[in-house]
Amino acid sequence: MATDTASVLIIEPFCGGSHQQLVDLLQEEIEQCVLYSLPAKKWQWRARTSAIYFSQVIPHSQQYRVLFCSSVLNLAELVALRPDLSGLKKVVYFHENQLVYPVRKQQDRDFQFGYNQVLTCLVADTVLFNSAYNKESFLTNIPHFMKLIPDHRPKGLSEKIRPKCLVLYFPIKFPEKRSNRCTMKDNIHVGRTLSVEDNYCDESVKCLDNDVDDSDDDDDNAHPESSAISDGNSSHIGLQMPLVNKEQDVVQDLSLSSKISTSEVIQPLVIAWPHRWEHDKNPELFFKLLYMLKADNYCFKIAVMGETYTDVPSIFDDAAVHLKDHILTWGYQETKSNYYKLLQQSDIVVSTAKHEFFGVAMLEATYLGCYPLVPNDLVYPEIFPKECLYNTENQLYKRLKQFCQRPQMVRSKHLQLDFSKYSWQSLKRDYIDVLHIAVNEYLTSTPLSIKVVSSGGLVIKHPALGANGRRFEPRKRSKLFQGLISQLTTSWVADHVKWRCRLH
């Protein structure tokens, strides 16, 4: 949209991932929005310097009513550099907050990032968070965070910011169709054909056996593995993985000594990783558990996706070599259709994150049929049912072992999860309301500028009247003008204007 007609100014200093998804949706679905953004690179520098950049590139316009930005922007700096933007209704969206963002060493934490976000909230009119966890972790940590200041610490900041805060879930445009899980009697995972040459599990690989030892559970409150997912067909438990006889093109079941066609081979479990390739997603733990599965001769495939930025953890290069025989796909998917297809072909999706304030990728994967395994921490208990949560590394490894052995168990599972709470279709009205309420508040709180001209008429300037205002000549009656006059608070001015324009 052209700048001279846009009323909602959107600013995104880090336009990638979920940040880009949100601003793209707002531009596509809500009228009168204009976007100014920077590529998703070097977020630290975006947080430090983007305000001065945007102060120079955003044109002056009297049509702007609302400024919408993510918390990466130092809003306090921007409105100080651009006083014409300070009068807009300012709405800030928190995808994440820096007060609890994980760092590998505490001395690595840059105080300025969190401090900038606090300042941004103080100058904003409305502060939106993508989850209750994000909101509460930010507000409750402000006093502790401010104790890092050596002396003369500010007080009461949480209490000042809280009334401005709302939780508005991140809106996801889910695909129109969801994947269908096969029933237990099908014995195959819909959407994939097992390659007899290179994709079956031989006799050295554990699959569908019953050698899981549950005695090493280190948490009495762990969810029982046997009750987390109902098998639905107990006769399959205890079977060895069928062996492929390439010469006869048949599969012989070692336990039942029966013959079935190769198309009925139970395919290996497919584990999806759709996260950013960064340390806060804790890929080290994820690949450590996969190495253990491989060492214990479990049968599985992996679909490692997600965006990469400048600094990629070295574990990804190591894992690409160590797990090369287990890789179904490796790397960022350029198109949504390919990405969704791979998620539909996966059985489970795993998070080992040390930081998560919402988790778009996990919800997308779950919607498309993946069974989620997530930490009992961060935002996850707010979104996912208890059966999907794990407390310890050991619990997660046990769940992975079980699903590798009995992949049909997870393929028959259907989670009861209300996806509508996170869909753009349901949330669109809420976003429109926030922006339109902000527009209305701006219009009603902005004073009129009235000038009497030589002809005896008036020139009235107000955002509702456009950049140049409106000129009203004597004896010209106007409902709009009468409405504006009624909002004047000084009775003497109102009486004077009415007399000059013969409206009374």
- Note the pTM of the prediction, 2 decimals: 0.72
Q: Domain limits of the chain? A: 3-171+423-443, 184-416, 447-500
DSSP 250-297: EEE-TTT--EEEGGGPPPPEEEEE-S-SSGGG-HHHHHHHHHHHHHTT
Reply yes or no on whether the pLDDT at 219 is more than 80: no
Under the banding of pLDDT at 50, 70 and 90, the label for residue 31 is confident
Same-fold call for 3-171+423-443 versus 184-416:
yes
**pLDDT at residue number 415:** 87
Higher pLDDT, 308 or 132: 132
Residue carrying the six token digits 């069928």: 242
315, pLDDT greater than 70: yes
Q: Which residue has the higher pLDDT, 249 or 319?
A: 319
DSSP-assigned beta bridge partners for residue 459 = 451, 471
**Digit-coded pLDDT (tens) for 433-451:** 998 765 555 555 556 567 7
Most confident of 31-35, 56-60, 467-471: 56-60
Question: Which pLDDT score is estimated for 134?
Answer: 97
Tell me how far apart the alpha carbons of residues 270 and 3 are, in angstroms, rounded to a whole number.
47
Nearest to 212 by CA among 225, 221, 231, 223: 225
Written as six digits, the tokens of 256 are: 């039942």
In angstroms, the CA 492 to CA 498 distance is 10
pLDDT tens digits, one per residue of 363-406: 999 999 999 999 999 999 999 999 999 999 999 999 999 999 99
Please state whether 345 falls in left (phi above 0), alpha (psi between -120 and 50) or beta.
alpha
Question: In terms of Cα–Cα distance, which of 124, 119, 118, 72 is closest to 94?
Answer: 72
Spatial distance between the Cα atoms of 152 and 154, rounded to a whole number of angstroms: 7
Token duo for residue 329: 């796909």
Q: What is the structure's pLDDT at 383? A: 97
pLDDT at 202 over 80: no
Task: Report the pLDDT value the prediction gives residue 2, as an integer from 0 to 100.
Answer: 57
- CATH class of residue range 3-171+423-443: alpha beta
Query: Is there a contact between 161 and 126 (Cβ–Cβ < 8 Å)?
Result: no
Residue found under tokens 């001065």: 52
For residue 86, the tally of other CB atoms under 10 A from its CB is 15
Query: Which one is predicted more confidently, 122 or 235?
Result: 122
**Among positive and negative, which fits the CA dihedral 40, 43, 45, 50?**
positive
Bigger pLDDT: 275 vs 482? 275
**Superfamily of structural domain 184-416:** Glycogen Phosphorylase B; (3.40.50.2000)
Percent of the chain with pLDDT strictly greater than 70: 68
Is 60 exceeded by the pLDDT of residue 347? yes
Q: What is the mean pLDDT of residues 485-496?
A: 46
**Higher model confidence: residue 200 or residue 7?**
7
pLDDT digits (tens, 9 = 90+) for 273-301: 999 999 999 999 999 999 999 999 999 99
Which is higher by pLDDT, 365 or 103?
365
* Residue 178's pLDDT band (cuts 50, 70, 90): low
| Average pLDDT along the chain | 79
Task: Reply yes or no on whether the pLDDT at 34 is more than 80.
Answer: yes
pLDDT (0 to 100) of residue 476: 52
